[in-house]
Structure formats: structure tokens, C-alpha cells
Structure 1
Amino acid sequence: MVSDDDAIDYADVARELASMLHGYPNGDPYELLGWIAAEVRSGPGTRAGRAMTAALWASRWYVKWQVTDPALVDDLIEAAGRAGTVLEAAGCTAPGEHEHPQVDDDPEAMGDVVARIGDPEKWFATDPDRDPDDEDVEAYACPGFLAELAAEAEEALRDARAERFEARDTAHLDEHFLTGEGRTDLDAVMTDIELQKYSSIDPTAESAALWAARRLLGDARPGERVSLALAVSYLAQRCAGGAAAPGVVALYREGLQTFDLSALDRPCPHPEAHPRIKLRDLPRLARAMAPDSAPVDDREGCPRRIAAHVREIIDYTGGYLGVEDAPAEVSA
């Protein structure tokens, strides 16, 4: 997108932007979005900065649903805020002489707008049917118009940041999930967890899993930790199918990372092999591993088996969040 002499190829930018917005990116979307943010921040009032402000606006819904890195979202929010401040101060270049254009979220159309703003001469030259006298390019490049897009992008991204990266509070569930002695009522937790049956995320089940993850991070008693980890993994294993919010999945993963995985370094305490833990087995096994439950079969409750499952879900959620490669599959 940038030549050896640091000139931006806006036609290339338009293609990259459109492919990303369609959901079939030609390159790395995170690199493209980071570059857009940097270009906007470095000079929002320049021709390049104004073109990239339009690109940032066009990317706002993609960022909401596809970006799992809060730091990148923060960079884009900062860039949109700076662009809004600078462009609003510059104001409309020709008040009363041109109307601000109407733009929509069509990927090709927005790519075309970016190319039109960034390098209008080349944009005209790429299509002989375009007549400079018939196209008010400067209306698209107008700081007053782009200030409106920057403000809209900043608001949408701030809302997305809160919705996608801030896991809901669950302190009110202590009354529901803790006994009078301060122990976890694991049956109550699993009753809510089992409301998650389909791909669409059940909010009650998700809240129970968030509570369990926070319990792992805080006051979980040693005898509760296996059941709590299995409860969290039940929702975490469904994160991709239900498009769970990254902030929720990050909290699941953080809770699971407190689980003792040292059993993976020891041989199983039984001679027989044991199967992987499947999704449908988790509620029953979580209840069976509760402190007040009857002892389970050595293979079913094998510490190495459970540790391997937790390790698998930690890796899986890391892949979902883009912090490490996802495993090929997890047990269904």
C-alpha cells in the first residue's frame, strides 16, 4: 500500500479495505487497522489523514465484531477522537457552496471514497468516464464532513469497547451461589450453566460462568476448583460458535489459568487409558467432582485427564482471542 518513496497507493488501500469489510481480507486486518490508526493520528488534517479517517469510519462495525484486541480498539478510538478535534476545528471548506455527501457501509463504495479523497487525480485517471466537473471531490475531502464521520466512528468504537471488552458484574450472584458457610453451591452454578444449550449465548449461563471464573481468581476453596474449572470450560468451549465477547472469554481464560496443571507432568494413577472430556460430559462431571459428591471412578476423575482438558480450553480461548494458535479442534 506504500511505495518505496512513502507514497500511498490509494487504489491498493481501497482493495484491502473492501476485502476486509467483506470478511475475506487479502492481508492481516490487524495490520491494516493499525496502519489506518497511525495515519490518522499522524496528521488528520492532511489529505492522507482525511482519507484514512473515512477508512476508519468504514471499519467501525468490522472492528466491533471481529477485533479481539482491546489495545487496537483503543488506538482506533484515540485516532478517531484526534481526527474529530482537528477536522472540526478546520470546519467546512466551502460552507453553503457544497452539500456534504451521503455515504453508506458498502465496502466497494467506501474503498472508492478513500481513493477519491486520497488521490483525486489518480482516481479520475483510472476511469475515463469520470469527469472532474461532474464530481465534487472536495465535498468528500471536506474537513467539516469528515469531522462528522470521525465523531460517529469514535462513538461507535467506544460503545463497542464497553460492550465487547468489559465483562458484566456478577457480585450480586454471591447470594445465589454461596452457602451460608461461604462454600460454592456447585449444583446451583451448574443448573444455570446448563441453560446454555444452543449456539446463541444464554445470558444466565454466561453470568454463572463469569461468576465461576471470578471465584477461581479469588476465594475458591481447594475442593471447589475442579468443578468450577469444568463449569467455566463449558461456556468457554462454546465461545466461537456463540461469538462470545472477547472480554468475557478473556475472563474465562484468566480464571482457567489459575488451575493447577501439574498433573500433566505426572503419569496417570491408573493403568487404563481415559477418553477426552466431551462437552456433553461436563455438567455431570462437574457435579461429580464436587466435595460432597460420592467418589468417582479413577479414570473419570483422573487429575491428568481434567488438567489436559483445562489446558486444551486455555489454548482454545487463546486462539479465539488471537493470542496464540488455536488447536485444530476441541471435544464436541
Structure 2
Amino acid sequence: MHASADAPTADLAAAWQLVDHRSTAGTADPVVLDCARRLAADPDGEHAAEWVYGLLSMTRYLATRADDTTAGQVAEVLRTAAGALDGPPCDHRSHPYESALEQLDFDELELTGSAPDVVLLGNGTPTEADPAWQEPGTKEEYRCPHAVAVFARIAAEIIAPGSPQGIPERIPQHHEDCIEDLASVLHGYPSGGAEPAYEITAGAGLPAHPTTGALAGHLALLRAGCWEAASGTIRPRWVLDDMIGTLEDALRELAGATCSHGDGAHPELSGDPDTDAGTGYHLLTPGGRALLQRSYEDGIEDAPPAAWTCRAHLEALARDTLGHLTAARDRFFGERRTAYLDADCLRPDGTWDAARLAGVLRGAAEGEERTEDLGLWAARRFVGGSGTAHERLMLFLTVCHSLDLAYPDPPPSVYRELRPVLESAVAALPETCPHGDAHPGAGAGLPGEAGEHLAHLCAPESFAAPEGAREPDTWACPRNLAPLAEEWLEWCDTWDEAAEDGYGEDDD
């Protein structure tokens, strides 16, 4: 088909096409190292472009399967060749690497497809006269020493990331929008069109055969979204499941990673949403890492790409992030254990102790996981069916008080178990009662702290009446309890809708 093609080059190109992420060292290394030796022997010669593009086409193997020795040797040859190929500026208006860098998605190995057909490149037929040539640039542009040098640097950076000198600071066109959307979610004010659940899971969906650069970018993005996911402000369970699954995949890829860096040499995200979103997305691509390198040199970034792409650091980062998200999933969707509260709320023999419970209610703190557990503890004891009318009233109000204090909204593992308690208070209401507008709800609308009012109601002999205290019968009145229960049941329905929110199953 290509009669004028150089036969040895055609044979070599056929061998290169067989080297990818599925190859073994025994079959791939001889092919890879032969190409590297040819480039090292004549780094700026007539056939340098063929050898560079050959190695670029084999980076799927070099970046994901090759051992450190082979990968490091090839990367060094590519960098040396890039230096040899550099020369005076050319007069080309554009180069193929520009569009290649800008059209990436989440997997930098897509750049292996930027290597042109070297047989067609060297067949001597001008671009316009070669109907088989389908590349986005001309043959002259692909043979331009400047373009070949940049492609050599790109290949070296994919294989052994962290030192992106001489690579244009070009990032995928859509990444800037992604950075803006993620940062807006992390700031707490999602921009128009941004879906918070999808933005904070941007690091999920790791490529099946990730490069170290892809691992660094995805893990930094997962870390950036970790605190939002763990806070409970974003409710679908799939958010945590996807993030946790990706971290588990990453840890398998990074198993056994070591480094020689000392304590404190590994970077952390800054905590600034704009910076952290940019760090994560920029780590994904060679052009993005070049931008990070300059930002570090300019004092904007706290760490260079080389620090972020240390595999031992990435393993530690993945493990720590996984711990936070797993704990959050257990809290939101797992079985919550509350027996530890018996020691605080009951007598040593497990019987009712109004003064102990009153003390806990007075000290319940907003936003603490313990407050959620207190509501569960009360609900479980209420459903157990024992206790006097006063005890059951206090358990019911404890449930409502825990919901009043919840921030962010309680997770399904909590509010769904509280529903039976709330439903027990929904009943037909008498048309009138002697209390008028004096119903206290669960105490949140009374003067001072609700916990003070509940403590006095629970154990008046131990806790003095606070300002505005109401009589016990106003608390126990059906016209107080039923509307309170109905309001929280409506919120439970709202939270259920938010947990699903059209994204699929939430926790089953």
C-alpha cells in the first residue's frame, strides 16, 4: 500500500503498535529500548521524529507497566533529544501539540494518539498529495524540530512526571470551567449550572490504567471535595461510594510505593477553594503541570508538580482521604451505635435518671455527632415502649431537640430511625386547648437556650426554671406535639428527596 515507505521503519512501526498497557516486559522492553537507542544515537538526526513519535505511541506501556529503570531511561533519552532538537524559532503558525494538549479530557494517555503515522510521515509524499494522511497538522508541522522536541518532552513528562520544563502551559479547554465550578461549590455558592454532587466527585472515575499524573490529579480533586462530601451537605450516597471506590482503586495502583523524602516534604492542599480546584485539574495533564511549575516558581503554589507526583505521597494521601470518607459513609448510612450514652443518661443499673438526662440536654452542642446519637438513643428507648408518660414525653422532645441542633441536616441513618417516634405524635387535634399560644414546641423558640428549658422540664428539682419557662402540660399538649411532629416529618420527606435527587439509588 505504501510502496515508497522505508521498509525497516514500517516493520518497527508495526512492532510499536503492539506495545500498550497490556504488554509484558519480556515482549515490550526490547521494542521500547531499541527505539530509545535509535533516538539516543542520533537525537536530532533525520529520523529523530520517527523515534520520538514511536516512543510517544508506546507511553501507555511506559507510563503504566514498565519498571522504573526502563521508564526512567526512556524519559531521559526523550529529554536529551528535546534539548538537541531545540533551535531557532520556526515560522509555523501552529503546531499539532497545541490542539493535542487542549483537547484532552481526564486521561493524559489520550496523547499517545497524537503520534502520527510515521510511515506516512516519511514516505516523501507532500501532505496535500497524500490522501491517506489524516492528521490534524501537515507533515511539515509534525517534522518541525520544535514540534518534535515538545512532543518528546510531553512523552517524557507522561512517563516520569514532575519536571515539565519546556512544555507549553496549555490545558484542556473545559478544565477552566471545571475549576470555576468546583471552586464555587467548595466556597459554598455553586455557580449557575454547577451540580455540587458531580463537582465534588470530579476525582472519581480514575482511568482503568492511570498514569502517575492522573493519580495525582484525581487524588488531589478527591481531597479537595472530601470535606464537602464528609459534611453531609451533599446527600446522595453514590457520592461517597464513588469517591471511596476510586480511592480503593488508587491504593491498589500505589501499593508498596516508597520515596526518600523527609518529614514535611510532601504537600497539602492550601484550603483555598480556587487554588485547590486548580491544583487538582492542572495535575492531570502535562500542560497543566507546566502551569503549576510556573505558579510554584512565582510563589503562588506551595509545592511543585514533582512533590505532588511522588507515589508514596499519593498513597498516604489516598489512605487518609479514604479514612475520612469511609467514616462519613458509616455515619450517614451505617449502623449507628448509641449504647455509650447509657452511662451519661441513665443510672448504672440502666433505669431512668431524670437528672442525668437533663444535664445532657442542657449541654447538647450544635453540630456534634454526639447530638445526632442522642436523638437516636432517645428514639430507640421510646420505641422500646417502656417508661412513664413524663419519661416518654422527654424522649420525644429529646428527638426533636436533636433535630433542632442538627447541622448540617441529619443523615438518613439518623432521621429515618426517628420517623416512628415522630409519627407516634401525629393525631387528630382537639379544636381548643387551655394554653392558647403558649405551646413551646421543643423549646427552640423560648428565651435563652432550649436545653435549659428541657433540663428544667425533665428534672425541675435539679435545674432551676429559666426565663420564660412553660408549665409541663403545655409541653405535653397534643396541640404542641402533633404540629411539631408533622413539621419534622415533612423535613424527613424533603431529605429523602434530596438523598435521591434524580441521581439513582441513595443508600439501598
- Say whether the 8 Å CA contact 1:216–1:258 is kept in structure 2: yes
Whole-angstrom CA distance in 2 between matches of 1:64 and 1:50: 21
Residue type matched to 1:192 in 2? V
- Say whether the 8 Å CA contact 1:225–1:259 is kept in structure 2: no
- Say whether the 8 Å CA contact 2:344–2:356 is kept in structure 1: no
Match 1:257 to one of 406, 415, 420: 420
- Cα separation, partners in 2 of 1:178 and 1:307, compared to 1, 3 Å: farther
TM-score in terms of structure 2 length? 0.46
**Does the alignment pair 1:150 with 2:150?**
no
Whole-angstrom CA distance in 2 between matches of 1:129 and 1:189: 56
- Say whether the 8 Å CA contact 2:282–2:289 is kept in structure 1: yes
- Larger RCO (alpha carbons 8 Å, 6+ apart): 1
2:338 corresponds to: 169
**Does the alignment pair 1:75 with 2:242?**
yes
Whole-angstrom CA distance in 2 between matches of 1:324 and 1:275: 38
- Cα separation, partners in 2 of 1:316 and 1:237, compared to 1, 3 Å: farther
**Does the alignment pair 1:270 with 2:432?**
yes
> 1:234 deviation in Å?
1.8
Whole-angstrom CA distance in 2 between matches of 1:304 and 1:324: 33
> 1:173 deviation in Å?
1.4
**Does the alignment pair 1:110 with 2:276?**
yes
Whole-angstrom CA distance in 2 between matches of 1:202 and 1:129: 40
2:362 corresponds to: 194
Whole-angstrom CA distance in 1 between matches of 2:202 and 2:227: 17
1:292 corresponds to: none
> 1:86 deviation in Å?
1.3
Match 1:218 to one of 384, 395, 407: 384
> 1:306 deviation in Å?
0.6
> 1:84 deviation in Å?
1.6
Match 1:306 to one of 481, 485, 488: 481
1:18 corresponds to: 183
Whole-angstrom CA distance in 1 between matches of 2:348 and 2:260: 67
- Say whether the 8 Å CA contact 1:10–1:118 is kept in structure 2: no
- Say whether the 8 Å CA contact 2:372–2:403 is kept in structure 1: no
Residue type matched to 1:15 in 2? E
**Does the alignment pair 1:29 with 2:196?**
yes
- Cα separation, partners in 2 of 1:51 and 1:170, compared to 1, 3 Å: same
Deviations 1:171-210 (A, max 9, x none): 5617953798x874455433431233x647596x776544
Residue type matched to 2:280 in 1? V
Whole-angstrom CA distance in 1 between matches of 2:406 and 2:478: 25
Deviations 1:66-92 (A, max 9, x none): 546483334322211211211347x68
Whole-angstrom CA distance in 1 between matches of 2:235 and 2:209: 24
Match 1:43 to one of 208, 230, 234: 208
Whole-angstrom CA distance in 1 between matches of 2:294 and 2:475: 72
> 1:95 deviation in Å?
9.5
- Cα separation, partners in 2 of 1:53 and 1:125, compared to 1, 3 Å: closer
Residue type matched to 1:270 in 2? T
The DSSP-based 3-state class of the residue aligned with 2:421 is: coil
- Say whether the 8 Å CA contact 1:53–1:80 is kept in structure 2: yes
- Cα separation, partners in 2 of 1:227 and 1:52, compared to 1, 3 Å: same
Deviations 1:227-277 (A, max 9, x none): 31112212321113xx68x46x8436523433445744x242536755552
- Say whether the 8 Å CA contact 2:379–2:399 is kept in structure 1: yes
**Does the alignment pair 1:228 with 2:395?**
yes
Whole-angstrom CA distance in 1 between matches of 2:422 and 2:341: 24
- Say whether the 8 Å CA contact 1:34–1:75 is kept in structure 2: yes
**Does the alignment pair 1:239 with 2:406?**
yes
Residue type matched to 2:397 in 1? L
Residue type matched to 1:216 in 2? F
The DSSP-based 3-state class of the residue aligned with 2:326 is: helix
- Say whether the 8 Å CA contact 1:213–1:255 is kept in structure 2: yes
Deviations 1:118-160 (A, max 9, x none): 23336758999999xxx97576456555334323322333355
- Cα separation, partners in 2 of 1:185 and 1:260, compared to 1, 3 Å: farther
1:329 corresponds to: none
> 1:215 deviation in Å?
0.6
Whole-angstrom CA distance in 1 between matches of 2:267 and 2:344: 52
Whole-angstrom CA distance in 2 between matches of 1:271 and 1:237: 25
- Say whether the 8 Å CA contact 1:113–1:140 is kept in structure 2: no
2:38 corresponds to: none
- Cα separation, partners in 2 of 1:79 and 1:213, compared to 1, 3 Å: same
Residue type matched to 1:24 in 2? Y
Match 1:59 to one of 225, 233, 237: 225
- Cα separation, partners in 2 of 1:287 and 1:84, compared to 1, 3 Å: same
Gaps of 5+ in 2: 1-102, 107-173, 298-302, 461-470, 502-508
Residue type matched to 1:190 in 2? A
Using the TM superposition, name which of 150-159 and 136-145 deviates more. Answer: 136-145
Deviations 1:305-329 (A, max 9, x none): 312112223444666785499xxxx
Whole-angstrom CA distance in 2 between matches of 1:312 and 1:21: 30
Gaps of 5+ in 1: 289-294, 326-332
